[in-house]
Structure 1
Amino acid sequence: MNVWGGMLLFISIGAANKTMPDEQTRKMWMEIDFQIINGLISAIIIGLTPWRIRDLYQLYQKKYRDELLRRHKYTKNFIWIQVIIWSSIVNSIFQVGVAICTWSTNMNNRPTRLVGILGGISLISGVFAALAQFILGRRTKKKAKMVEQSNSIV
């Protein structure tokens, strides 16, 4: 993914002008790079969708809440789990929107603003869910470490 992202960056800033002298070649390679990156990201995000839907289902079924809380060990706060699960669902929905927009139209009449907005919302919601899990997990590990240290002192 880094190779395609780097190539996209070099073409965008004009560093590849000597190897690709005409504009049409640059546009074609930008489109190829964009489609490969979009495909890789979509495969990951859309591939995680069944587990996200399972979490959403278990979120609203009382008999599965204990299992859900056990699986999301980073917090015992049910509201944070709801926010993280819904952020992940929003990430999946908007990534599907990006995939539909980019794969159903050609590069000349693609709604670029719509793709940008959908991609931005998908990115923001995914980053929010990941950061929340990371911060809450770190906080939980610190609490567990402090409890372990206090137990070893006593």
Structure 2
Amino acid sequence: MDRDEPNKSTTENTSYVKLSSQSAVLGADSIDAAHTLRAQRSHDSSEDQLLSAHHLPPLPWKITIAIALRRFWRWFLTPIGFLVTIYGLNVVAWGGMLFLLICNAAPAMCHPSCNDINSPRRIWIEIDSQILNALFCVTGFGLAPWRFRDLYWWVVWRCGRTDEARSVGIRRLAGIHRGWYRLPGSDSLAGSDSLDSNNPAVPIPPSRMPDPPLTGVYAPPTKPWKMSFLIWCNIWNTIFQACLAGCMWGLNRYNRPSWTTGLFIALAFIVAGMAGWTEFSEGRRVKKIEGAPMSEEERRARAQMSEKQRQLEMHEPC
């Protein structure tokens, strides 16, 4: 009996060593797979929490309007907000007056007739047109340096001699328009890859990399033609504005063809509107996927609503 126990113990130890070695060899892949699955589940769980935290029910319209008004007031008190507001009010006011004059809304100004070149109506149409032309020149010419900067990088992107040069061009543009443009491959970047300045999915400079998405989901790459469309719409807006200014300043109301003013105003307005809509729609698409930070006012409003809902539930009869 005593002789058999050492043999039995030795056999059990040998079997345990064999099983342990086999588990270490054969089970390595399974362990790695388990760790990968656990990490994936953890990522999915946190992603679901982020998604559920972001996609909240809309606030009542009264609260939404109040929050928007408070935001606008804070922005209006800034220098840029004040100037933009005054600019917009002037465009609306003078544009509305021009529209009413064209529609013959003031018959008293039609003396001796509405179409007489020296009638008050025609004189004020000229004054309104000159003021609106000057206002449009503020944006058409004031933004020209940035628009031609974008055009330069567009030429590098589309006409570069090497793939590296073309990549630099679009990456520069992606850094400039980080709010709505996403590079190919940017939706699959890891944390360390976002700091690699040589990665074609990273904007130049890397500091212009979009912020991590609040929802945990990256927006898919933007179609490249939309960048070209935006840049050329802005360039044509400046060109049409230059044509309009040339006609308004180079000719007087006696020898200026009437079709020039309407044509160039319409063309400049259309291309500017298409550029603005492209940037707005793409920015909204990115925000829907990646999320937008919640303002302090909205956070307080939701907290108050939650507190009221909790109190109502406490006072409900069982």
TM superposition score normalised by structure 1 = 0.84
The correspondence of residues 87-98 of structure 1 with structure 2, limited to 5 A, is 87-98=233-244
Q: Name the structure 2 match of 1:59.
A: 154
Q: Structure 1 stretch 85-94 or stretch 60-69: which is displaced more? A: 60-69
Deviations 1:24-69 (A, max 9, x none): 1111111001110111011221111110000110122233432211
Native 8 Å contact 1:11 1:17 kept in 2: no
Aligned residues with identical type, % of pairs = 35
Choose which of 103, 107, 111 in structure 2 pairs with 1:17. 107
Q: Distance in 2 between matches of 1:21 and 1:45?
A: 33
Q: Name the structure 1 match of 2:125.
A: 30
Q: Rate the CA distance shift 1:29–1:95 in 2: closer, same or farther, 3 A.
A: same
Determine if the alignment matches structure 1 residue 141 to structure 2 residue 287: yes
Q: Distance in 1 between matches of 2:272 and 2:110?
A: 37
Choose which of 50, 73, 81 in structure 1 pairs with 2:145. 50
- RMSD across aligned positions (CA): 1.9
Q: Report deviation, 1:12.
A: 2.3
Q: Which runs of 5+ in 2 are unaligned?
A: 1-89, 114-118, 157-164, 183-221, 293-318
TM superposition score normalised by structure 2 = 0.43
Choose which of 169, 174, 181 in structure 2 pairs with 1:69. 174
Amino acid at match of 2:181: T
Paired residues in the alignment total 145
Q: Which has the higher helix share?
A: 1
Amino acid at match of 1:87: C
Q: Report deviation, 1:21.
A: 4.9
Say which structure, 1 or 2, has more relative contact order (CA 8 Å, 6+ apart).
Answer: 1
Amino acid at match of 2:105: A
Q: Distance in 1 between matches of 2:262 and 2:104?
A: 21
Bigger radius of gyration, 1 or 2? 2
